[in-house]
Structure 1
Protein backbone atom coordinates (compact mmCIF):
# COMPACT_ATOMS: atom_id res chain seq x y z
CA UNK A 1 0.00 0.00 0.00
CA UNK A 2 1.43 3.36 -1.02
CA UNK A 3 2.50 5.76 1.72
CA UNK A 4 0.48 8.96 1.84
CA UNK A 5 2.34 12.17 0.99
CA UNK A 6 2.02 14.98 3.52
CA UNK A 7 0.42 18.31 2.71
CA UNK A 8 2.24 21.23 1.15
CA UNK A 9 2.76 23.02 4.48
CA UNK A 10 4.49 20.09 6.19
CA UNK A 11 8.30 20.17 6.14
CA UNK A 12 10.02 17.19 4.50
CA UNK A 13 12.25 15.18 6.81
CA UNK A 14 15.94 15.33 5.95
CA UNK A 15 16.59 11.97 7.60
CA UNK A 16 14.26 9.93 5.40
CA UNK A 17 14.57 9.20 1.68
CA UNK A 18 12.40 10.91 -0.92
CA UNK A 19 9.46 8.77 -2.00
CA UNK A 20 7.00 8.81 -4.88
CA UNK A 21 6.21 12.32 -6.21
CA UNK A 22 8.87 13.88 -3.95
CA UNK A 23 11.64 12.40 -6.10
CA UNK A 24 13.10 15.30 -8.10
CA UNK A 25 15.41 13.52 -10.56
CA UNK A 26 14.01 13.00 -14.09
CA UNK A 27 15.55 9.51 -14.45
CA UNK A 28 16.60 6.72 -12.08
CA UNK A 29 18.17 3.29 -11.97
CA UNK A 30 15.25 1.11 -10.87
CA UNK A 31 15.36 -1.90 -8.54
CA UNK A 32 12.24 -4.06 -8.28
CA UNK A 33 10.39 -5.17 -5.16
CA UNK A 34 12.30 -8.48 -5.15
CA UNK A 35 15.70 -6.81 -5.58
CA UNK A 36 15.92 -7.36 -9.33
CA UNK A 37 17.74 -4.80 -11.51
CA UNK A 38 15.20 -3.29 -13.93
CA UNK A 39 17.47 -0.75 -15.66
CA UNK A 40 17.23 3.00 -16.33
CA UNK A 41 13.72 4.49 -16.19
CA UNK A 42 12.17 7.92 -16.41
CA UNK A 43 10.93 8.59 -12.87
CA UNK A 44 7.41 9.10 -14.22
CA UNK A 45 7.51 5.59 -15.72
CA UNK A 46 9.04 4.14 -12.54
CA UNK A 47 6.21 5.70 -10.54
CA UNK A 48 3.68 3.98 -12.79
CA UNK A 49 5.43 0.63 -12.30
CA UNK A 50 5.30 1.09 -8.52
CA UNK A 51 1.69 2.29 -8.65
CA UNK A 52 0.63 -0.75 -10.69
CA UNK A 53 1.88 -2.89 -7.78
CA UNK A 54 0.29 -0.61 -5.14
CA UNK A 55 3.80 0.04 -3.81
CA UNK A 56 6.08 3.04 -3.28
CA UNK A 57 9.05 4.31 -5.25
CA UNK A 58 11.86 5.09 -2.78
CA UNK A 59 15.05 6.99 -3.67
CA UNK A 60 17.74 5.02 -1.81
CA UNK A 61 20.90 6.48 -3.41
CA UNK A 62 20.12 10.11 -4.35
CA UNK A 63 23.71 11.13 -5.16
CA UNK A 64 24.34 8.34 -7.67
CA UNK A 65 24.20 9.19 -11.39
CA UNK A 66 21.40 8.52 -12.08
CA UNK A 67 19.88 8.13 -8.58
CA UNK A 68 18.96 4.60 -7.51
CA UNK A 69 15.30 3.98 -6.65
CA UNK A 70 13.61 0.87 -5.30
CA UNK A 71 10.01 -0.31 -5.36
CA UNK A 72 8.72 -1.29 -1.89
CA UNK A 73 5.89 -0.89 0.61
CA UNK A 74 7.59 1.93 2.50
CA UNK A 75 5.12 2.18 5.39
CA UNK A 76 5.30 -1.55 6.07
CA UNK A 77 9.08 -1.49 5.71
CA UNK A 78 9.47 1.35 8.24
CA UNK A 79 7.15 -0.38 10.73
CA UNK A 80 8.94 -3.74 10.49
CA UNK A 81 12.37 -2.14 10.84
CA UNK A 82 11.22 -0.09 13.84
CA UNK A 83 9.86 -3.20 15.58
CA UNK A 84 13.04 -5.19 14.88
CA UNK A 85 15.23 -2.34 16.09
CA UNK A 86 13.17 -2.03 19.28
CA UNK A 87 13.53 -5.76 19.90
CA UNK A 88 17.28 -5.60 19.30
CA UNK A 89 17.70 -2.71 21.75
CA UNK A 90 15.71 -4.34 24.56
CA UNK A 91 17.83 -4.89 27.67
CA UNK A 92 20.93 -3.76 25.75
CA UNK A 93 23.30 -1.70 27.90
CA UNK A 94 26.69 -1.79 26.16
CA UNK A 95 27.07 -1.48 22.42
CA UNK A 96 30.18 -1.94 20.33
CA UNK A 97 30.33 -0.82 16.72
CA UNK A 98 32.75 -2.60 14.43
CA UNK A 99 33.48 -1.52 10.86
CA UNK A 100 34.10 -3.68 7.80
CA UNK A 101 35.13 -2.07 4.51
CA UNK A 102 34.36 -3.46 1.06
CA UNK A 103 35.29 -2.38 -2.46
CA UNK A 104 32.58 -2.47 -5.16
CA UNK A 105 34.70 -4.91 -7.23
CA UNK A 106 35.41 -7.31 -4.36
CA UNK A 107 36.03 -10.91 -5.43
CA UNK A 108 34.21 -13.94 -4.02
CA UNK A 109 37.04 -15.04 -1.70
CA UNK A 110 37.47 -11.60 -0.10
CA UNK A 111 33.70 -11.26 0.25
CA UNK A 112 33.44 -14.57 2.12
CA UNK A 113 36.37 -13.62 4.38
CA UNK A 114 34.84 -10.27 5.31
CA UNK A 115 31.42 -11.87 5.77
CA UNK A 116 32.93 -14.22 8.36
CA UNK A 117 34.25 -11.18 10.24
CA UNK A 118 30.76 -9.64 10.15
CA UNK A 119 29.22 -12.86 11.50
CA UNK A 120 31.83 -13.05 14.27
CA UNK A 121 31.14 -9.45 15.32
CA UNK A 122 27.37 -9.98 15.31
CA UNK A 123 27.68 -13.17 17.35
CA UNK A 124 29.70 -11.23 19.93
CA UNK A 125 26.81 -8.76 20.25
CA UNK A 126 28.43 -5.89 18.35
CA UNK A 127 26.82 -3.77 15.68
CA UNK A 128 28.60 -3.72 12.33
CA UNK A 129 29.07 -0.65 10.16
CA UNK A 130 29.56 -1.86 6.59
CA UNK A 131 31.27 0.60 4.24
CA UNK A 132 31.56 0.38 0.46
CA UNK A 133 34.46 2.59 -0.69
CA UNK A 134 34.24 4.04 -4.21
CA UNK A 135 37.15 5.46 -6.17
CA UNK A 136 37.16 7.61 -9.28
CA UNK A 137 34.51 6.65 -11.82
CA UNK A 138 33.25 3.79 -9.65
CA UNK A 139 30.67 6.30 -8.35
CA UNK A 140 28.93 6.06 -11.73
CA UNK A 141 27.92 2.51 -10.79
CA UNK A 142 26.90 3.08 -7.17
CA UNK A 143 24.28 0.35 -7.56
CA UNK A 144 27.11 -2.21 -7.42
CA UNK A 145 27.78 -1.19 -3.84
CA UNK A 146 24.08 -1.47 -3.07
CA UNK A 147 24.01 -5.01 -4.47
CA UNK A 148 26.89 -6.01 -2.16
CA UNK A 149 25.20 -4.51 0.91
CA UNK A 150 21.87 -6.15 0.13
CA UNK A 151 23.60 -9.47 -0.50
CA UNK A 152 25.38 -9.23 2.86
CA UNK A 153 22.17 -8.26 4.68
CA UNK A 154 20.45 -11.29 3.14
CA UNK A 155 23.35 -13.61 4.08
CA UNK A 156 23.20 -12.61 7.77
CA UNK A 157 19.45 -11.97 8.08
CA UNK A 158 19.02 -14.80 10.61
CA UNK A 159 21.25 -13.04 13.13
CA UNK A 160 20.84 -9.34 12.35
CA UNK A 161 18.60 -6.53 11.20
CA UNK A 162 19.44 -3.57 9.01
CA UNK A 163 19.31 -0.77 11.58
CA UNK A 164 20.42 1.90 9.10
CA UNK A 165 19.58 1.42 5.42
CA UNK A 166 22.29 1.82 2.75
CA UNK A 167 23.04 5.48 2.06
CA UNK A 168 25.74 7.43 0.26
CA UNK A 169 28.01 9.75 2.23
CA UNK A 170 30.53 11.35 -0.08
CA UNK A 171 32.36 8.51 -1.84
CA UNK A 172 31.22 5.86 0.63
CA UNK A 173 28.01 3.87 0.89
CA UNK A 174 27.17 2.89 4.48
CA UNK A 175 24.88 0.37 6.16
CA UNK A 176 24.56 -0.49 9.86
CA UNK A 177 23.72 -4.03 11.00
CA UNK A 178 22.53 -4.79 14.53
CA UNK A 179 22.45 -8.25 16.13
CA UNK A 180 19.09 -9.80 16.96
CA UNK A 181 18.75 -11.07 20.50
CA UNK A 182 18.12 -14.81 20.52
CA UNK A 183 14.83 -15.97 22.01
CA UNK A 184 15.25 -18.23 25.07
CA UNK A 185 14.18 -21.86 24.76
CA UNK A 186 10.66 -22.72 25.88
CA UNK A 187 11.50 -23.61 29.49
CA UNK A 188 13.79 -20.62 29.95
CA UNK A 189 11.24 -18.25 28.41
CA UNK A 190 8.53 -19.42 30.80
CA UNK A 191 10.86 -18.94 33.77
CA UNK A 192 11.79 -15.43 32.65
CA UNK A 193 8.15 -14.44 32.13
CA UNK A 194 7.19 -15.88 35.51
CA UNK A 195 9.95 -13.91 37.22
CA UNK A 196 8.93 -10.70 35.49
CA UNK A 197 5.26 -11.18 36.36
CA UNK A 198 5.85 -12.22 39.98
CA UNK A 199 4.72 -9.73 42.61
CA UNK A 200 6.08 -9.66 46.18
CA UNK A 201 3.48 -8.84 48.83
CA UNK A 202 4.59 -6.97 51.97
CA UNK A 203 2.66 -5.69 54.95
CA UNK A 204 1.95 -1.98 54.86
CA UNK A 205 3.86 -0.10 57.59
CA UNK A 206 2.02 1.36 60.53
CA UNK A 207 1.25 5.05 60.40
CA UNK A 208 3.84 5.74 63.12
CA UNK A 209 6.56 3.70 61.44
CA UNK A 210 9.29 5.76 59.79
CA UNK A 211 10.10 4.47 56.32
CA UNK A 212 13.65 5.26 55.18
CA UNK A 213 14.14 6.77 51.76
CA UNK A 214 16.02 4.70 49.20
CA UNK A 215 18.27 6.39 46.68
CA UNK A 216 18.60 4.68 43.31
CA UNK A 217 21.63 5.54 41.24
CA UNK A 218 21.23 5.26 37.46
CA UNK A 219 23.91 5.37 34.82
CA UNK A 220 23.65 5.93 31.11
CA UNK A 221 24.45 3.06 28.78
CA UNK A 222 28.00 3.12 27.54
CA UNK A 223 28.60 3.03 23.79
CA UNK A 224 32.00 1.83 22.73
CA UNK A 225 33.07 2.35 19.14
CA UNK A 226 35.95 0.46 17.60
CA UNK A 227 37.16 0.06 14.04
CA UNK A 228 38.02 -3.21 12.35
CA UNK A 229 39.12 -4.00 8.87
Structure 2
Protein backbone atom coordinates (compact mmCIF):
# COMPACT_ATOMS: atom_id res chain seq x y z
CA UNK A 1 0.00 0.00 0.00
CA UNK A 2 1.27 3.49 -0.83
CA UNK A 3 2.76 5.68 1.86
CA UNK A 4 0.78 8.72 2.96
CA UNK A 5 2.43 12.08 2.46
CA UNK A 6 2.26 15.08 4.79
CA UNK A 7 -0.06 16.81 2.32
CA UNK A 8 -2.42 13.83 2.32
CA UNK A 9 -2.50 13.79 6.11
CA UNK A 10 -3.26 17.51 6.22
CA UNK A 11 -6.00 16.99 3.65
CA UNK A 12 -7.49 14.21 5.76
CA UNK A 13 -7.61 16.46 8.82
CA UNK A 14 -9.39 19.17 6.82
CA UNK A 15 -11.92 16.60 5.59
CA UNK A 16 -12.74 15.41 9.09
CA UNK A 17 -10.81 12.12 8.98
CA UNK A 18 -8.43 10.77 11.57
CA UNK A 19 -4.91 12.20 11.29
CA UNK A 20 -2.99 9.01 12.13
CA UNK A 21 -2.93 6.18 9.60
CA UNK A 22 -0.80 4.07 11.94
CA UNK A 23 -3.40 4.37 14.70
CA UNK A 24 -6.12 3.27 12.27
CA UNK A 25 -4.16 0.22 11.13
CA UNK A 26 -3.29 -0.78 14.71
CA UNK A 27 -6.89 -1.66 15.56
CA UNK A 28 -8.75 -2.95 12.47
CA UNK A 29 -12.51 -3.17 13.12
CA UNK A 30 -14.11 -6.59 13.54
CA UNK A 31 -17.38 -5.40 12.06
CA UNK A 32 -17.08 -3.48 8.80
CA UNK A 33 -19.78 -1.41 7.16
CA UNK A 34 -19.07 0.82 4.20
CA UNK A 35 -17.47 0.16 0.81
CA UNK A 36 -15.38 -2.81 -0.29
CA UNK A 37 -13.46 -3.84 -3.36
CA UNK A 38 -15.12 -6.61 -5.41
CA UNK A 39 -11.76 -8.36 -5.69
CA UNK A 40 -9.67 -9.36 -2.68
CA UNK A 41 -6.19 -7.98 -2.68
CA UNK A 42 -7.13 -4.76 -4.44
CA UNK A 43 -5.31 -1.51 -3.81
CA UNK A 44 -6.61 1.81 -2.63
CA UNK A 45 -4.83 5.18 -2.58
CA UNK A 46 -3.42 5.95 0.86
CA UNK A 47 -5.45 9.16 1.07
CA UNK A 48 -8.66 7.12 1.18
CA UNK A 49 -7.37 5.10 4.12
CA UNK A 50 -6.54 8.28 6.02
CA UNK A 51 -9.85 9.94 5.21
CA UNK A 52 -11.86 6.86 6.17
CA UNK A 53 -9.85 6.38 9.33
CA UNK A 54 -9.57 2.58 9.03
CA UNK A 55 -9.60 -0.16 6.46
CA UNK A 56 -11.11 -3.63 6.13
CA UNK A 57 -8.97 -6.76 6.08
CA UNK A 58 -9.81 -10.41 5.55
CA UNK A 59 -8.42 -13.14 7.79
CA UNK A 60 -5.57 -13.56 5.31
CA UNK A 61 -4.73 -9.87 5.96
CA UNK A 62 -5.46 -8.94 2.34
CA UNK A 63 -6.84 -5.46 1.79
CA UNK A 64 -10.52 -5.42 0.85
CA UNK A 65 -11.80 -1.92 1.49
CA UNK A 66 -12.17 0.68 4.20
CA UNK A 67 -14.46 1.20 7.16
CA UNK A 68 -17.07 3.97 7.34
CA UNK A 69 -18.44 3.53 10.86
CA UNK A 70 -17.11 6.98 11.80
CA UNK A 71 -19.53 9.58 10.39
CA UNK A 72 -18.42 11.51 7.36
CA UNK A 73 -18.39 15.32 7.43
CA UNK A 74 -21.80 17.00 6.90
CA UNK A 75 -23.15 16.92 3.34
CA UNK A 76 -20.62 14.22 2.34
CA UNK A 77 -21.30 10.69 1.14
CA UNK A 78 -19.33 7.64 0.06
CA UNK A 79 -19.22 8.84 -3.53
CA UNK A 80 -17.50 12.02 -2.34
CA UNK A 81 -15.05 9.92 -0.32
CA UNK A 82 -14.13 7.79 -3.32
CA UNK A 83 -13.81 10.86 -5.52
CA UNK A 84 -11.52 12.50 -2.97
CA UNK A 85 -9.39 9.35 -2.89
CA UNK A 86 -9.23 9.23 -6.67
CA UNK A 87 -11.22 5.99 -6.95
CA UNK A 88 -14.17 5.45 -9.28
CA UNK A 89 -17.59 4.37 -8.03
CA UNK A 90 -17.55 1.38 -10.37
CA UNK A 91 -14.64 -0.18 -8.49
CA UNK A 92 -16.39 -0.48 -5.14
CA UNK A 93 -19.72 -1.65 -3.73
CA UNK A 94 -21.63 -1.37 -0.46
CA UNK A 95 -21.10 -4.16 2.03
CA UNK A 96 -22.31 -5.21 5.45
CA UNK A 97 -20.27 -8.14 6.71
CA UNK A 98 -17.70 -9.36 9.18
CA UNK A 99 -14.03 -9.35 8.22
CA UNK A 100 -14.19 -13.01 7.18
CA UNK A 101 -17.04 -12.29 4.78
CA UNK A 102 -19.81 -13.68 7.00
CA UNK A 103 -23.01 -11.60 6.61
CA UNK A 104 -23.97 -9.57 9.66
CA UNK A 105 -27.21 -10.99 11.13
CA UNK A 106 -30.18 -8.67 11.43
CA UNK A 107 -30.27 -7.47 15.06
CA UNK A 108 -34.08 -7.48 14.91
CA UNK A 109 -34.00 -11.26 14.39
CA UNK A 110 -31.45 -11.90 17.14
CA UNK A 111 -32.26 -14.76 19.51
CA UNK A 112 -29.72 -13.63 22.12
CA UNK A 113 -31.44 -13.40 25.54
CA UNK A 114 -32.27 -9.91 26.78
CA UNK A 115 -32.68 -8.91 30.42
CA UNK A 116 -34.38 -6.05 32.25
CA UNK A 117 -33.96 -5.71 36.02
CA UNK A 118 -32.61 -9.25 36.17
CA UNK A 119 -35.62 -10.73 34.35
CA UNK A 120 -35.41 -12.21 30.88
CA UNK A 121 -37.65 -10.41 28.40
CA UNK A 122 -38.87 -11.89 25.11
CA UNK A 123 -38.39 -9.61 22.13
CA UNK A 124 -39.37 -9.91 18.45
CA UNK A 125 -38.59 -13.43 17.13
CA UNK A 126 -38.15 -14.72 20.68
CA UNK A 127 -41.93 -14.45 21.19
CA UNK A 128 -43.24 -17.94 20.48
CA UNK A 129 -46.93 -17.72 21.45
CA UNK A 130 -49.48 -17.63 18.64
CA UNK A 131 -51.39 -14.51 19.74
CA UNK A 132 -50.63 -11.47 21.88
CA UNK A 133 -52.45 -8.38 23.07
CA UNK A 134 -50.63 -5.36 21.65
CA UNK A 135 -50.04 -1.88 23.07
CA UNK A 136 -49.26 0.72 20.41
CA UNK A 137 -46.59 3.40 20.31
CA UNK A 138 -48.69 5.58 22.63
CA UNK A 139 -49.64 2.55 24.76
CA UNK A 140 -53.09 2.44 23.20
CA UNK A 141 -54.79 -0.96 23.08
CA UNK A 142 -54.57 -2.45 19.59
CA UNK A 143 -56.41 -5.62 20.56
CA UNK A 144 -55.37 -9.26 20.21
CA UNK A 145 -53.26 -9.96 17.13
CA UNK A 146 -51.37 -12.90 15.72
CA UNK A 147 -47.73 -12.68 16.81
CA UNK A 148 -46.54 -12.61 13.19
CA UNK A 149 -48.85 -9.68 12.44
CA UNK A 150 -47.67 -7.83 15.56
CA UNK A 151 -44.03 -8.37 14.58
CA UNK A 152 -44.74 -7.08 11.09
CA UNK A 153 -46.32 -3.91 12.50
CA UNK A 154 -43.32 -3.40 14.78
CA UNK A 155 -40.88 -3.70 11.88
CA UNK A 156 -42.89 -1.27 9.78
CA UNK A 157 -42.86 1.24 12.67
CA UNK A 158 -39.11 0.79 13.18
CA UNK A 159 -39.45 -0.45 16.77
CA UNK A 160 -39.37 -3.76 18.66
CA UNK A 161 -42.16 -6.00 19.86
CA UNK A 162 -41.47 -6.39 23.59
CA UNK A 163 -43.43 -8.79 25.81
CA UNK A 164 -44.22 -6.83 28.98
CA UNK A 165 -46.76 -9.16 30.67
CA UNK A 166 -45.91 -12.79 29.88
CA UNK A 167 -48.32 -14.20 32.51
CA UNK A 168 -51.41 -12.46 31.10
CA UNK A 169 -53.85 -14.35 28.88
CA UNK A 170 -52.98 -13.69 26.14
CA UNK A 171 -49.51 -12.21 26.92
CA UNK A 172 -49.25 -8.45 26.49
CA UNK A 173 -46.66 -6.95 24.15
CA UNK A 174 -45.72 -3.36 23.49
CA UNK A 175 -44.48 -1.60 20.36
CA UNK A 176 -41.37 0.16 21.66
CA UNK A 177 -37.63 0.29 21.18
CA UNK A 178 -36.15 -2.31 23.54
CA UNK A 179 -33.46 0.13 24.70
CA UNK A 180 -36.17 2.66 25.62
CA UNK A 181 -38.22 0.03 27.44
CA UNK A 182 -35.17 -1.15 29.38
CA UNK A 183 -34.25 2.40 30.38
CA UNK A 184 -37.79 3.23 31.55
CA UNK A 185 -38.17 0.00 33.53
CA UNK A 186 -34.81 0.31 35.29
CA UNK A 187 -35.40 3.98 36.09
CA UNK A 188 -38.81 3.15 37.62
CA UNK A 189 -37.22 0.56 39.92
CA UNK A 190 -34.58 3.03 41.09
CA UNK A 191 -37.25 5.64 41.84
CA UNK A 192 -39.29 3.14 43.87
CA UNK A 193 -36.22 2.09 45.82
CA UNK A 194 -35.38 5.71 46.53
CA UNK A 195 -38.92 6.47 47.71
CA UNK A 196 -39.03 3.40 49.97
CA UNK A 197 -36.00 4.59 51.90
CA UNK A 198 -37.97 7.59 53.22
CA UNK A 199 -36.46 10.93 54.21
CA UNK A 200 -32.99 10.67 55.70
CA UNK A 201 -32.37 12.42 59.03
CA UNK A 202 -28.91 13.80 59.76
CA UNK A 203 -27.96 14.64 63.35
CA UNK A 204 -25.65 17.44 64.47
CA UNK A 205 -24.52 17.96 68.07
CA UNK A 206 -23.62 21.31 69.55
CA UNK A 207 -22.36 22.57 72.92
CA UNK A 208 -23.94 25.51 74.76
CA UNK A 209 -20.59 27.29 74.52
CA UNK A 210 -19.49 27.03 70.88
CA UNK A 211 -16.67 28.89 69.17
CA UNK A 212 -17.58 30.91 66.08
CA UNK A 213 -15.53 28.67 63.79
CA UNK A 214 -17.24 25.50 65.07
CA UNK A 215 -20.63 27.20 64.73
CA UNK A 216 -19.90 28.10 61.08
CA UNK A 217 -18.84 24.51 60.31
CA UNK A 218 -22.04 23.07 61.83
CA UNK A 219 -24.16 25.63 60.00
CA UNK A 220 -22.58 24.79 56.63
CA UNK A 221 -23.10 21.06 57.20
CA UNK A 222 -26.77 21.61 58.06
CA UNK A 223 -27.29 23.77 54.97
CA UNK A 224 -25.77 21.10 52.71
CA UNK A 225 -27.91 18.33 54.22
CA UNK A 226 -31.09 20.36 53.80
CA UNK A 227 -30.22 21.31 50.22
CA UNK A 228 -29.85 17.61 49.39
CA UNK A 229 -33.33 16.87 50.74
CA UNK A 230 -32.45 15.41 54.15
CA UNK A 231 -33.84 16.51 57.49
CA UNK A 232 -31.46 17.80 60.16
CA UNK A 233 -31.82 17.17 63.89
CA UNK A 234 -29.78 19.56 66.03
CA UNK A 235 -29.15 18.45 69.61
CA UNK A 236 -27.50 20.39 72.45
CA UNK A 237 -26.67 18.55 75.69
CA UNK A 238 -25.97 20.07 79.10
CA UNK A 239 -23.99 18.31 81.81
CA UNK A 240 -22.49 19.41 85.10
CA UNK A 241 -21.56 23.07 85.14
CA UNK A 242 -22.97 23.54 81.62
CA UNK A 243 -26.47 23.55 83.14
CA UNK A 244 -25.75 27.16 84.12
CA UNK A 245 -25.64 28.09 80.42
CA UNK A 246 -29.15 26.95 79.45
CA UNK A 247 -30.25 30.47 78.53
CA UNK A 248 -27.15 30.96 76.41
CA UNK A 249 -27.74 27.57 74.78
CA UNK A 250 -31.34 28.49 74.01
CA UNK A 251 -30.27 31.70 72.28
CA UNK A 252 -27.64 29.78 70.29
CA UNK A 253 -30.23 27.24 69.19
CA UNK A 254 -32.68 29.95 68.08
CA UNK A 255 -29.91 31.70 66.18
CA UNK A 256 -29.01 28.44 64.42
CA UNK A 257 -32.63 27.95 63.35
CA UNK A 258 -32.81 31.53 62.07
CA UNK A 259 -29.58 31.14 60.08
CA UNK A 260 -31.07 28.08 58.36
CA UNK A 261 -34.34 29.80 57.41
CA UNK A 262 -33.29 30.20 53.76
CA UNK A 263 -33.03 26.43 53.22
CA UNK A 264 -35.04 24.85 56.06
CA UNK A 265 -37.98 25.18 58.42
CA UNK A 266 -38.79 23.80 61.86
CA UNK A 267 -40.37 20.34 61.68
CA UNK A 268 -42.39 20.01 64.88
CA UNK A 269 -41.35 22.05 67.91
CA UNK A 270 -38.12 23.02 69.64
CA UNK A 271 -37.56 21.05 72.84
CA UNK A 272 -36.27 23.26 75.66
CA UNK A 273 -37.65 21.18 78.56
CA UNK A 274 -34.90 18.64 79.32
CA UNK A 275 -31.14 18.61 79.77
CA UNK A 276 -30.88 18.16 76.01
CA UNK A 277 -32.32 20.83 73.74
CA UNK A 278 -33.28 19.63 70.27
CA UNK A 279 -34.93 20.77 67.07
CA UNK A 280 -35.55 19.09 63.71
CA UNK A 281 -35.32 21.09 60.49
CA UNK A 282 -36.94 20.02 57.21
CA UNK A 283 -36.01 21.28 53.73
CA UNK A 284 -38.03 24.15 52.29
CA UNK A 285 -40.16 23.03 49.36
Normalising by the smaller structure, the TM-score range is 0.3 to 0.5
What TM-score do you get using the length of structure 1 for normalisation? 0.37
Name which one, 1 or 2, has greater alpha-carbon Rg. 2
